[in-house]
Amino acid sequence: MISNKSFFNNSKVIPVDQFIENVLYNKKVGYYSSKTPFGKKGDFLTAPGISNLFSEIIGIWLVSTWHTLGRPKNFNIVELGPGDGTLTKILLKTFQKFSSFNQATNIFLYEKSNLLKKLQKKNIKNLKVKWIKNFTSIRKGPIIFFGNEFFDAIPIKQFFRKNKLLLEKHYLLNKKNKIDEIYKKASKKYVSQIKKFKILKNLKFVEFPKLGFDELNKIIKKLSKLEGGLLLIDYGYLTPKNKNTLQSVIKHKRNKLLDNLGKADITSLVNFNLLNEYFIKNNLKVKKVVTQKFFLEKMGIIERANNLSKKMSFKEQSNLYLRLKRLLDTKLMGNLFKVIFAYKSSKDNFLGFE
Ligand SMILES: C[S@@+](CC[C@H](N)C(=O)[O-])C[C@H]1O[C@@H](n2cnc3c(N)ncnc32)[C@H](O)[C@@H]1O
């Protein structure tokens, strides 16, 4: 068993986001450094693992976006947090059917976990794909960033409003080596940052993705120089929850947040209207947030499934439609998962949102 002490950076008290950052990404004991989380034998399944149709549709959306941007000769796409590499693996296959697009496109993967980077390299094996630690080497041509379940995996800060005072939630390592929750007066920096967002006003419980915004800032900086955009698909909400949305899973089952630290995945629900406000404040245009069901259907996922199924046996057809149902059903992933596209371009006719 990993000692709780390993997640505390040699201190006794740390804010929620720093604690979870250690639990997930510490190079020795972090979840993403020691375990492959995906698939039946892992802890959870994501859309690319459910059906290749999902990745194909993202591929078609990328090709359509290249068309919208005027078929540039030099086009860059960056997958954020590629997991086991399945999405990009299927994209490469899909892109073979679009030769001018394929020739114009450079593919980059942005991954934090060394263990997952190794797995991606093993699964992808294609010289066209480059792994990058930052975006400085991309200097020419429009750029599209995209990530599935990227943002939910970046730890958040949590605050509680007591009367007019904002308190930040911390974890404390007590004398028995157990973890307690405590609240400390929030620093002025966060009080003033949180005040700037209309969507966070009057909430008793505030979740603030400081580390997520740090990542977005790097992307926004790039988009201030190059034309392009950022597509995020994730589970989340439009109306603030006003409560703790951190959740932990292990072997496809819910787990108590502080149990199995380093062995279970921890995520939070994404506040899509906060993202929307953030992008607008940073001079990007934003398409109306839509559900995964809306986006995938608009991009033709049902027609694609119908086409594929024509050559399939009954058993294969059942499997295909069962997986499609999982992606689209409003009681399964269809509504909970949402899609946001923020962009900097004089063009507006990007597909999937209207
Ligand atoms: C929940 S997984 C999703 C994986 C994949 N996109 C999928 O849909 O299966 C989150 C991914 O984001 C990566 N990640 C999280 N934070 C990151 C960061 N700050 N920079 C780069 N990658 C990050 C994780 O290591 C992992 O690959």
Residue 352 lies in a domain: no
Measure the CA–CA gap between 322 and 314, rounded to whole angstroms.
12
What are the tens digits of pLDDT across the range 211-224?
Answer: 999 999 999 999 99
Q: What is the pLDDT of residue 40?
A: 85
Relative to the CA of 38, which ligand 1 atom is closest? 9
Domain that holds residue 318: 4-344
Q: What is the pLDDT of residue 10?
A: 87
Residue 353 lies in a domain: no
- List the CATH number of the domain containing 56: 3.40.50.12710
User: Which long-range contacts link 210-216 to residues 24+ away (Cβ below 8 Å)?
Assistant: 210/17, 210/156, 210/157, 211/17, 211/21, 211/154, 211/155, 211/156, 212/151, 212/154, 212/156, 213/278, 215/80, 215/154, 216/278, 216/282
- How many angstroms is it from 80 CA to the middle of ligand 1? 7
- How many angstroms is it from 149 CA to the middle of ligand 1? 7
Tell how strand 270-271 and strand 228-237 pair up.
parallel
Residue 281 lies in a domain: yes
Q: What is the pLDDT of residue 45?
A: 95
Contact present, 76 and 106 (Cβ < 8 Å) = yes
Amino acid at 172: L
Residue 349 exposed, middle or buried by CB count within 10 Å (0-12, 13-18, 19+): exposed
Residue 191 lies in a domain: yes
The number of folded domains in the chain is 1
DSSP, res 103: H
Using the predicted structure, report yes or no on whether residue 36 has a pLDDT greater than 90.
no
Contact present, 72 and 140 (Cβ < 8 Å) = no
Residue 350 lies in a domain: no
Q: What is the pLDDT of residue 202?
A: 87
- How many angstroms is it from 317 CA to the middle of ligand 1? 31
Provide the pLDDT confidence category of residue 208 given band limits of 50, 70 and 90.
very high
Other residues' Cβ atoms within 10 Å of the Cβ of residue 291: 18
Which residues form ligand 1's pocket by a CB distance below 6 Å? 32, 46, 48, 81-83, 110-113, 116, 148-150, 153-154, 215
Provide the pLDDT confidence category of residue 113 given band limits of 50, 70 and 90.
very high
Q: What is the mean pLDDT of the chain?
A: 96
Measure the CA–CA gap between 197 and 195, rounded to whole angstroms.
6
Residue 30 lies in a domain: yes
- How many angstroms is it from 150 CA to the middle of ligand 1? 5
Q: Looking at residues 286-315, what average pLDDT do you find? A: 98
Of 111, 131, 120, nearest to 48 (Cα)? 120
Which residue's alpha carbon is nearest to atom 11 within ligand 1?
A: 81
Residue 354 lies in a domain: no
Contact present, 46 and 337 (Cβ < 8 Å) = no
Using the predicted structure, report yes or no on whether residue 332 has a pLDDT greater than 90.
yes
% of the chain at pLDDT higher than 70: 100
Tabulate helix, strand, coil % of the chain (nearest 5): 40, 25, 35
Contact present, 2 and 24 (Cβ < 8 Å) = no
What are the tens digits of pLDDT across the range 218-260?
Answer: 999 999 999 999 999 999 999 998 999 999 999 999 999 999 9
Q: What is the pLDDT of residue 222?
A: 98
Contact present, 226 and 345 (Cβ < 8 Å) = no
Using the predicted structure, report yes or no on whether residue 1 has a pLDDT greater than 80.
no
Residue 349 lies in a domain: no
Out of 22, 135, 150, give the residue to mutate to test ligand 1, the one with the largest number of ligand atoms within 8 Å of its CB.
150
Q: Which two tokens stand for residue 78?
A: 């960056």
Provide the pLDDT confidence category of residue 96 given band limits of 50, 70 and 90.
very high
Of 150, 168, 247, nearest to 206 (Cα)? 168
- How many angstroms is it from 349 CA to the middle of ligand 1? 29
Other residues' Cβ atoms within 10 Å of the Cβ of residue 175: 6
Among 33-37, 185-189, 280-284, the least confident range: 33-37
What are the tens digits of pLDDT across the range 269-299?
Answer: 999 999 999 999 999 999 999 999 999 999 9
